[in-house]
Structure 1
Amino acid sequence: MIEGSRPQPGKASRRSPRAAEDGTELRAGPGTGAGHPAGRETGAGPRARGEGDAGHRARRIATAAWGASIVVASAAGAVLHGLGVLTIDHLPPLHGHFRLPPIALLPAVAFAAVAFAAVAVPALPSLTRRLRFGWALAVAYGSALAWTVLLAISADGLAEPFTHPQEYPAVLPAVGDDPLGWLDTFTERLPGYPTHVRGHPPLAVLVVWALRAAGLAGPLWAALLVVAVGCSATVAIALTVRGLAGEEAARGALPYLALTPASVWIATTMDAFFAGVGAWGVALLVLGRSPAGRVLTAAAAGVLLGALPYLSYGLVPYLLIPVVVIVAARVPRAVVLAAVTGAGAVTAAFAAGGFLWPAGVLATHAEWSADPGAARPYLYFLVANLAVLALLTGPATAMGLVRLTPGALRSGPASPDPAVPGRAAVRGVGILVAAALVAVLALDVSGVTRGEVERIWVPYAVWIGLAASLADGRRPLAAQAVTGLLLQGLVISPW
């Protein structure tokens, strides 16, 4: 792990070229740990020079646009639902129902989620700035777990989504004790399987089957696996950010990764598991201290990334993220070759087991075409899907995206306030955010994601939400937590 550089005793600390570029200065001080930036823990302070009123105005406009996109998509969806155009979506653009339970009937755990947010919003930025990086990662991961679980149990419980007859565990009797035989006949027997199984490749079912084979049967174990892996994306993404944008950018992102509004659907949809697998696949590309170690981690990255198309067909555009990381981090050819080899091994293993990915795509498309979801209006969901993405990523992401505009990246010198990310860090984060946004837009334009994207977008939203860390101050983090609480409290979701 890379800790901050330590100033030598008796010598004045000097600003490194990187610190000068980023506008951060390192100092040792009580409680901060040597080499940690002064003043970062408060999240307060003067904003970047050259930003001024124009920056404030841009953030206000971005926040207003964020809210307007949701209001307009909801209003248009309500009209379409009233006209009978949208028959299976009762709270468009979301696939769920609206609820407004009386406060007196809210369970105590709902107040526990509120209390946790009230403590985490001011505490997390301070902790992730002061602690050594490894401990900061652990605190962020623990916070993500607590936040996600508290949100889940304040509704219908952690395991409830996996008890649905259309979910993956429902097909386990068909798998029996012969997973290879089931895999070999997966495509031809697809029409008889539950909805989620028909819409996905077979690997997700095999993951749940492996849990049962290990003696961890039942929906609760499946939910625990999904939440644990999904929340671990917080750590994996932060490690990737450190590799591309520096440790301070990674520290700044941790609170926003932990308290993302997407946590509402991380508990629990299988897509959260996909998010964790993908995030670690990307992170492993930039890890590894020795050349041999880096090749080994890259091979593991290839296995994880190669597994993504066998977890969900909608994760093919996700592969743009690791490609961008490889280019931006200048990953050596030997590392890239190891990753490609790992991915190829996954494809070869499934082919040997009797499942050919192109045949699976064709079979699933035939099932999707006969499903009521295919009749949803393309143009409405082309726009409404992005409003759902706005909900998953939160208003702070809209504020942070302002700093990724070409004009904002070019204007003004770096801020003297270390609480404001420098231009180099902004560019590094922006690369990851842009890659995820392009991948989402490609999937959205394809038309195969018409509704129900609150779960489909989760693997992408955790990356796009990095932009929230570019919004300075504590209010954006509080806005993220409030968004998550409102979504959990007002929306009844099947996931």
Structure 2
Amino acid sequence: MAVVIAPRVRARLSADVVVLGLEGALVGLAIVVGALRNHRGVGLHADAAPLFATWGPHVGWGTPAAVLVAAVVIGWGVPWARRAPWSAVLAVGWVAAVCWTLSLSMVDGWSAGLAERLTAQAEYLTEVPRVTDVGALLAGFADRILDFQPGSWSTHTAGHPPGALLLFVLLDRVGLGGGTAAGLACVLIGATVAVSVPVTLRALGSPDAARTAVPFLVLLPGAVWIGASADGIFAAVVAAGVALLVSRRLAVAAAGGLLLGLALYLSYGFVLVGLLALAAVASRAARRGAVLLAAFGGVSVVVAVFTLAGFAWWEGYQLVVQRYYQGWAAERPYAYWVWANIAALVLSAGPVAGPALCRALAALRLRRLPPPTVLFPVAAALAIAVADLSGMSKAEVERIWLPFAVWLLPAVALLPPHTRRWWLMGQALTALAVNHLLWTVS
């Protein structure tokens, strides 16, 4: 029997296709303009602009595994996630996300794809052996942010608050040092976003949306960078903090505040996570003021600990701005990256992000109290817009914006059910194309 589609539904589907076409045009334009600028010697410092990568088609033993995971999730993910017990959905979702991320990493091979991703000179692991006293590290951290002086931190360490380095120091101290352990930690922890985001949606009264989001979080194209970069862990910390924040128990909400406070010391850009926190609190039906106070208390504890230990976040940020323009940022043209960054985001969040976000924006105009499927994507988009316009995010946003990109995906619940399998296919194909055509850099 033929399926009859109402004119209004048909119009919305047409709008989705238009947005998809605009995304494709944006990515294509960013690639062409980036190639021309690189050919002319403009300092994009991204050989495969708009992505921070180099061109190099290749396959690996992870290729069949990635195709298999994608096929299973596309074929059975949506109906299974809708019917299965909730605990099974979360457990299988995490395992599937781990398998997807690892299989994509293995397309590049064990060394290049995982074990050596975090051992480059610019990475945190190069600094871990130099940390013998955490107190001294925090007290003197800001003094080593600026470049071209004795003892300057490596690029990633200098560009982040000390919490990022301390994370890898902690892994090393518990016996999980080295590139392989650090890479696996990024994968295993980063994959928990496929649990934290749905848990948040369900806690806020959107159980159907929570189940719908799981397959999309599993096949997130950004998994190319979760395996393995520290930004995968950062995304997981932020997502877990938001998930705890929406708990009915104030003590748990305060723990969420602690995690979000810790996030401030993983990346300076996570001050924008406040928008996600506000979306979480606004989505609650009751005790919003109490939750907000509990979360603020948790954040304040973390800020107080780091400040009393000798590291002032605001002073570190001022120095990071100077360090930022001591490097490639001084040459990377804002006029290109301010829009090419969005093309990189499309490749990281996936083609479903644009149509889903547009539906969320449309719903925002129609509802007085929008559901979390609307508030979170809009809050994430606003945070991304501020980060983009600031000029402090020129290139490499495909991994840097992962903590916000995952919160665009709750809006997939607004897409027609009969189209979701096609959108999942688009997500998977995007990840496979990026990983097989390019050698990405963490």
Task: Return the TM-score normalized by structure 2.
Answer: 0.92
Task: Find the partner of 1:80 among 37, 51, 57.
Answer: 37
Q: Give, in angstroms, the shift of residue 49 of structure 1.
A: 4.4
Task: Find the partner of 1:432 among 370, 373, 376.
Answer: 376
Task: Find the partner of 2:279 among 324, 348, 355.
Answer: 324
Higher helix share: 2
Q: Distance in 1 between matches of 2:397 and 2:87?
A: 33
1:241 and 2:192 matched: no
Q: Give, in angstroms, the shift of residue 74 of structure 1.
A: 1.2
Q: Match of 2:101, as an amino acid? A: T
Q: Give, in angstroms, the shift of residue 426 of structure 1.
A: 8.1
The 1:171–1:180 alpha-carbon spacing in structure 2 relative to 1, beyond 3 Å, is: same
Q: Give, in angstroms, the shift of residue 262 of structure 1.
A: 0.9
Q: Match of 1:489, as an amino acid? A: H
Q: Give, in angstroms, the shift of residue 46 of structure 1.
A: 5.7
1:377 and 2:333 matched: yes
Residues 374, 450 of structure 1: 8 Å contact kept: no
Q: What whole-Å deviation, never above 9, does each CA across 1:203-236 have from its counterpart, x for those lacking one?
A: 0111111111112211122112221221101111
Task: Find the partner of 2:386 among 438, 442, 448.
Answer: 442
Q: Match of 2:261, as an amino acid? A: G
1:65 and 2:22 matched: yes
Q: Any residues of structure 2 matched to 1:97-246 within 5 Å, and which?
A: 97-101=54-58, 106-155=59-108, 156-176=112-132, 178-190=133-145, 191=147, 192-246=152-206
Q: What whole-Å deviation, never above 9, does each CA across 1:380-400 have from its counterpart, x for those lacking one?
A: 111011111111111122232
Q: What whole-Å deviation, never above 9, does each CA across 1:134-160 have from its counterpart, x for those lacking one?
A: 111111111111101110111123222
1:468 and 2:420 matched: no
1:286 and 2:229 matched: no
Q: Distance in 2 between matches of 1:69 and 1:325?
A: 31
The 1:150–1:425 alpha-carbon spacing in structure 2 relative to 1, beyond 3 Å, is: farther
Q: Structure 2 stretches of 5 or more lacking a match? A: none
RMSD: 2.0
For the residue of structure 2 that corresponds to 1:355, the secondary structure is coil
Q: Any residues of structure 2 matched to 1:349-360 within 5 Å, and which?
A: 349-360=305-316
Which residue matches 2:395? 451
The 1:250–1:407 alpha-carbon spacing in structure 2 relative to 1, beyond 3 Å, is: closer
Deviates more, 1:297-306 or 1:107-116: 107-116
The 1:303–1:110 alpha-carbon spacing in structure 2 relative to 1, beyond 3 Å, is: same
Which residue matches 1:413? none
Q: Give, in angstroms, the shift of residue 129 of structure 1.
A: 1.1
Residues 235, 404 of structure 2: 8 Å contact kept: yes
Residues 199, 210 of structure 2: 8 Å contact kept: yes
Q: Distance in 1 between matches of 2:204 and 2:69?
A: 31
Which residue matches 1:477? 424
Q: Give, in angstroms, the shift of residue 284 of structure 1.
A: 0.7
Deviates more, 1:395-404 or 1:138-147: 395-404
Q: What whole-Å deviation, never above 9, does each CA across 1:32-55 have from its counterpart, x for those lacking one?
A: xxxxxxxxxxxxx96874534312
Which residue matches 2:441? 494
1:396 and 2:352 matched: yes
For the residue of structure 1 that corresponds to 2:16, the secondary structure is helix
Q: Any residues of structure 2 matched to 1:39-54 within 5 Å, and which?
A: 49=6, 51-54=8-11
Q: Give, in angstroms, the shift of residue 404 of structure 1.
A: 2.5
Which residue matches 1:94? 51
Task: Find the partner of 1:254 among 185, 205, 214.
Answer: 214
The 1:46–1:266 alpha-carbon spacing in structure 2 relative to 1, beyond 3 Å, is: farther
The 1:451–1:47 alpha-carbon spacing in structure 2 relative to 1, beyond 3 Å, is: farther
Q: Give, in angstroms, the shift of residue 86 of structure 1.
A: 2.5
Deviates more, 1:243-252 or 1:354-363: 243-252
For the residue of structure 1 that corresponds to 2:127, the secondary structure is helix
Residues 223, 267 of structure 1: 8 Å contact kept: yes
Q: What whole-Å deviation, never above 9, does each CA across 1:371-427 have from its counterpart, x for those lacking one?
A: 1222211121110111111111111222323422437975xxxxxxxxxxxx99984
Q: What whole-Å deviation, never above 9, does each CA across 1:227-273 have from its counterpart, x for those lacking one?
A: 12211011111111123351111111111011111111111111111
Residues 279, 372 of structure 2: 8 Å contact kept: no
The 1:119–1:335 alpha-carbon spacing in structure 2 relative to 1, beyond 3 Å, is: same
Q: Distance in 1 between matches of 2:301 and 2:259?
A: 11
Residues 230, 266 of structure 1: 8 Å contact kept: yes
Equivalent pairs counted in the alignment come to 429
The 1:438–1:407 alpha-carbon spacing in structure 2 relative to 1, beyond 3 Å, is: closer
Q: Structure 1 stretches of 5 or more lacking a match? A: 1-44, 289-293, 411-422
Q: Match of 1:310, as an amino acid? A: Y
Which residue matches 2:297? 341
Q: Give, in angstroms, the shift of residue 465 of structure 1.
A: 2.6
For the residue of structure 2 that corresponds to 1:139, the secondary structure is helix
Q: Distance in 2 between matches of 1:339 and 1:367?
A: 32
The 1:258–1:469 alpha-carbon spacing in structure 2 relative to 1, beyond 3 Å, is: farther
Which residue matches 1:3? none
Q: Give, in angstroms, the shift of residue 467 of structure 1.
A: 2.7
Task: Return the TM-score normalized by structure 1.
Answer: 0.83
Q: Distance in 1 between matches of 2:215 and 2:174?
A: 34
The 1:76–1:234 alpha-carbon spacing in structure 2 relative to 1, beyond 3 Å, is: same
Q: Distance in 2 between matches of 1:453 and 1:175?
A: 28
Residues 260, 465 of structure 1: 8 Å contact kept: no
Q: Distance in 1 between matches of 2:260 and 2:361?
A: 30
Q: Match of 2:85, as an amino acid? A: R
Percent of residue pairs identical: 35
